[in-house]
Copies of this chain bind each other. A is one copy, B any other.
Amino acid sequence: MRAEALKGHLDGLLLAALEEGPQHGYAVKEALRESTEGRIDLPSGTIYPALHRLEQAGLITGTWSVVGGRRRRTYELTSDGREALSGERDRWQEFAGAVTAALRTRPWPTTT
C-alpha cells in the first residue's frame, strides 16, 4: 500500500475501530489489521500521533490505566466523534464513487 494512499482517510478508520467500544491504541491497530485482513497494518508512528490528533480535536477521549503491568491509554468516541465518523463514511462514499468513476475505462465515446 503506497504511503500516501491513506492520507486524509485515516481518521475515519480509527474512529470506526473505536465505534465497537473503547480501545487502546495497540488494540486499534490490531483491530484495523484484522478487519482489513492485513491490508491495513499501521506502524505505531502513525497510529499514536493520529490518536493524539483526534483527542485534541475532541473526537475521542482517553484515560490512563495499567493492565498487566503495562500502562494503557484507552480511548472512547465522544459524541462529536460519532458525528465525525458518520461524516467520514459519507465522504468516503462520495470520494470512492468519484474515483471509481474517473478510473473507469471509457473505451470510446459510445452514444451515452
Contacts and interface: CB of A to CB of B under 8 A. Distances in A.
B106 A100 contact: no
A100 B94 contact: no
A13 B89 contact: no
A91 B2 contact: yes
Interface stretch (A33-41, A47-55, A60-68, A71-79): A33-41
B20 A102 contact: no
Interface pairs A-B: 10 shortest CB-CB: A4-B8, A7-B7, A39-B98, A36-B98, A5-B8, A13-B102, A4-B7, A16-B103, A36-B102, A35-B102
Nearest to A4: B8
B94 A17 contact: no
A105 interface: yes
Contacts of A37: 101
Listed residue (A1, A36, A100, A108) with the most chain B CB atoms within 10 angstroms of its CB: A36
Given A20-B106, A39-B101, 5 more contacts: A2-B8, A13-B103, A36-B99, A40-B98, A92-B103
A88 to B, nearest CB: 7
